[in-house]
Amino acid sequence: MKAKQLREMSLDEIRKDHKELLDALYKLRFQQAAGQMENPAKIRSIKRGIARILTVLKEKSHVAE
């Protein structure tokens, strides 16, 4: 998801997406440890998505102050 799309979302929606990405990352790491991972690049894209969400959340918290 692009940062522009995240900025247009509400805080609740962003937090929901953050939780979903964390769950997906957990599952992918478990697959990797079990040797069943099909696409290792998926971990990188999910980690970047999490970082993007955290950046937008921090921006929104500074605007609210």
Query: Residue 33 pLDDT > 80, yes or no?
Result: yes
DSSP of 7-48 = HHS-HHHHHHHHHHHHHHHHHHHHHHHHT--S-THHHHHHHH
Which CATH number among 3.40.50.720, 1.10.287.310, 1.10.10.10, 2.30.110.10 corresponds to the domain 3-64?
1.10.287.310
- The full set of domain ranges for the chain reads 3-64
Per-residue model confidence as pLDDT tens digits over 41-60: 999 999 999 999 999 999 98
Alpha carbons 56 and 2: distance in angstroms, whole number: 10
- Per-residue b/e over 2-20, b at no fewer than 16 CB within 10 Å? eeeebeebeeeebeebbee
